[in-house]
Amino acid sequence: MNTRFRLGGALAAIAVIVVLGFVLIPRPTNNGGPVPTPLPSASPNPSPSPAASSTPAPSQAVILPGQLCSATDCLTGTLEAGTYSFDAGSLTPGKLTFTVPAGWTTNNQGFVRKNLDLQQPTGIATDDSPNEVVFVTFFVTDTYTDACHWQGSMVSAGTTVDQLTNLLVAQRNRVARTPTNVTVGGFPAKQVALTVPASLDLTKCDSGVVHVWPGPGGDNSGGLCCAAAGSTDVVDVVNVVGHTFVVVARHAAGASPADLAELNAMVASIKIAAPPASPAPSGASPLPSGTTPSP
């Protein structure tokens, strides 16, 4: 399973700001203990500048409808309107397809977004993206009990939809709405909206960021991070034949109704194929029909 690092680039930028002187990221390998400050700078993304640059962002390749993420890599560029897919094992347990309108982009971590601040050539969204909307999926193995003071607050995400949903609802320094039962791609899910309080002073959070969950395996240098004050993550926790993953629709406080409608339509267009059955090892009993080992 591809573990995309979402937090590394943003945290590397924060380390630079600390020496000299928020949003989505990479996906993060730690055993769950506190992260030293500053966090390791190694990341698949270059570090963003501490301040917005006047240098325009480099032009991006145009991506035609089709496979966006394989089990090992994701494409980067501007998306033509059409239907795209995440391959099984990359960001979802089964192949996931969704329809994207014109005007959206993506990066090599599978973030599909609109209105990213073009002053950020790294492709990492920051507080300078007040109107941004984002679509992304995750495997979540661990989460934090406090999204602001997250260092040392990691706990297991559990193995069921209810366990993870309850942990997200209880997460400190985020305001959660009452979860509702929904269907995503034909599979049962729980939906919860989580908002970063507009009054939250991010400078007092660990490393200056809100961090929702780490990367797979409890990797503190990645995961879902850096939500701006006032922004909201609508999280669908989905169960696909015994496999739990999440779909995240994030919007900044200034997102327009038109962009929110496109984001919601993208989530509504999701179709998910059940994970393919893996052949049983020689001498082992075959798996029951419709089940697979955990990824």
- pLDDT (tens digit, 9 = 90+) per residue, 248-293? 999 999 999 999 999 999 999 999 998 866 543 333 322 233 322 2
The answer as to whether 72 is a domain residue is no
Closest residue by Cα to residue 240 from 173, 181, 171, 186 = 186
205-244 confidence digits (pLDDT tens): 999 999 999 988 899 988 898 888 999 999 999 999 888 8
**Main-chain phi, psi angles of 42, to 5 degrees:** -65, 130
Average of per-residue pLDDT values in the chain: 76
CA dihedral 89, 275, 78, 193 (to 10 degrees): -90
The answer as to whether 290 is a domain residue is no
Position 165 pLDDT exceeds 90: yes
The answer as to whether 228 is a domain residue is yes
The answer as to whether 65 is a domain residue is no
Backbone CA torsion sign across 97, 103, 105, 111: negative
Tokens 């001498």 belong to 283
**Main-chain phi, psi angles of 246, to 5 degrees:** -130, 150
The answer as to whether 22 is a domain residue is yes
DSSP 3-state assignment of 237?
A: strand
The answer as to whether 282 is a domain residue is no
The answer as to whether 56 is a domain residue is no
Residue, of 121 and 117, whose pLDDT is higher: 117
Q: What is the pLDDT of residue 108?
A: 87
Position 86 pLDDT exceeds 90: yes
Contact 90, 97 (CB under 8 A): no
Neighbour tally for 118: CB within 10 Å: 12
Contact 94, 275 (CB under 8 A): yes
Query: Where residue 117 falls among pLDDT bands split at 50, 70, 90?
Result: low
Q: What is the CA radius of gyration of the chain?
A: 18
The answer as to whether 76 is a domain residue is no
Tally of structural domains, the chain? 1
Q: Return d(Cα 251, Cα 227) in angstroms, integer.
A: 9
Q: Domain residues for 237? A: 8-28+35-47+84-272
Tokens 């495997």 belong to 139
pTM beyond cutoff 0.75: no
CATH code where residue 195 lies: 3.40.1000.10
